[in-house]
Homo-oligomer: A and B are copies of this chain.
Amino acid sequence: MATIYEVSKLAGVSLATVSRVMNNNANVSDTTRKKVTSAMNELGYRPNSIAQSLASNCSNSVGLLVSELSGPFYGPMMGGIENVFRKQSKHVIIAAGHSDKAREEQAIEFLISRNCDGLILHVEAVSDHYLIELAKGKTPFVLLNRFIPELAERCITLNNKHGGYLAAKYVLEQGHKNIAYISGPLWKKDAQARLAGHKQALLEYHIAFDEELLYEGDFMESGGTQGYKHLHATSHPFTALICANDEMATGAMACAREHGVELPEALSIMGYDNVFFTRHVFPPLSTINYPINEMGRMAANWILSEVYQKTTPTLQTVFEPELVIRQSIANKT
């Protein structure tokens, strides 16, 4: 591989000049610029990005930590992020935290030790305190789907409460009065917020919230099936079931069908997130859209702006959910 030295020799200029045309910033006359570029072409020169990084103290890499590489939620998020970075010739290093405190912390360590210029973190298990301490370090990061007041300006979140509200409101508008709810793990802020929005809508419609019709799930399919079984076993009847995410909703649907209940006639079901397979389930699932792809792009833009001083479209930290109506809710009015 040709080095900058060989290019400089062939072009008959100094190393510095070659470097200047590479980073086409400084003042270089047109004639020498041409000499240099043609020398580069002749040699098939490619800058060594490692050497650039060492000398410039900038690795042009950003770390991306997600809970899982698979699953319907993270794919679109990573897609949005990779897309904006590659256009800027930044590369993204991925790691998975598996919603586990130790593994998340270890992954962050790993990414930092890899000299990432910045980090995009979708973490769940790590403590607020840890992140606040981390913010004092020298690697900038942005948080996706997590809000910490002390770090507010670097948190990109969805208005989860409003989404919970929209879901319940729609179900109520369809005339349902007995509504069951399968929440996420209630130690998670987003699960809390979704439930809070749900309760707010109920309040507005003067429907009492029935604690017996609440089941705390785990945001996974199994939580939906277990939740349905539990709710079914209570003596409290319900015509609609709102789930705090789509995976649980599909789990509940499958389970309800096994119990011989007709969907959506005998039971209406509502999801949350609008992951792509909600269109594929039967009946197609009404849900709340979570613009995760856009939010990923925004996180990437945050990094571009804060870390690389690029001018980007205005940064937005809170995103609004939207109701997506399909066929899983029956009209009872």
Q: Is A82 an interface residue (CB 8 A)?
A: yes
CB 8 Å contact bits of A261-283 with B (1 = contact, 0 = none): 00000000000000011011110
A49-B113 contact in complex given A74-B75, A281-B281, C-beta closer than 8 Å = yes
A280-B250 contact in complex given A71-B75, A78-B69, C-beta closer than 8 Å = yes
Shortest C-beta distance, A305 to chain B (Å), equals: 22
B70 touches A75 (CB 8 A): yes
Q: Across the interface, which residues of B come within 8 angstroms of A112, CB to CB? A: 46
Residue of B nearest to A293 (CB): B70
Q: Is A95 an interface residue (CB 8 A)?
A: yes
B-contacting residues, A29-78, CB 8 Å: 46-51, 53-54, 59, 61, 68-72, 74-76, 78
Interface size class of A (residues with CB under 8 A): 35 or more
B95 touches A93 (CB 8 A): no
A93 touches B96 (CB 8 A): no
A49 touches B115 (CB 8 A): yes
Q: Is A136 an interface residue (CB 8 A)?
A: no
Q: Across the interface, which residues of B come within 8 angstroms of A54, CB to CB? A: 48, 50-51, 54
A110 touches B91 (CB 8 A): yes
Q: Across the interface, which residues of B come within 8 angstroms of A47, CB to CB? A: 113
Residue from A50, A68, A96, A281 whose CB has the most chain B CB atoms within 10 Å: A50
**Contact for A79 among B70, B83, B107, CB less than 8 A:** B70
Q: Across the interface, which residues of B come within 8 angstroms of A107, CB to CB? A: 86
Residue of B nearest to A109 (CB): B46
Q: Is A254 an interface residue (CB 8 A)?
A: yes
With the chains together, A47 CA to B109 CA distance in Å? 12
Q: Is A311 an interface residue (CB 8 A)?
A: no
Shortest C-beta distance, A73 to chain B (Å), equals: 9
**Contact for A113 among B46, B72, B250, CB less than 8 A:** B46
User: Can you report 18 A-B residue pairs in the complex whose CB atoms are below 8 A from each other?
Assistant: A46-B113, A47-B113, A49-B115, A50-B50, A50-B54, A68-B79, A70-B75, A70-B79, A72-B72, A86-B95, A86-B96, A86-B110, A93-B94, A250-B280, A254-B284, A257-B282, A277-B277, A280-B281
List the interface of chain A (C-beta within 8 A of B).
46-51, 53-54, 59, 61, 68-72, 74-76, 78-79, 82-83, 86, 89, 91-96, 107, 110, 112-115, 221, 250, 254, 257, 276-277, 279-282, 284
Pairs A-B, 7 closest by C-beta atoms: A70-B75, A282-B282, A69-B79, A277-B277, A69-B78, A250-B280, A70-B76
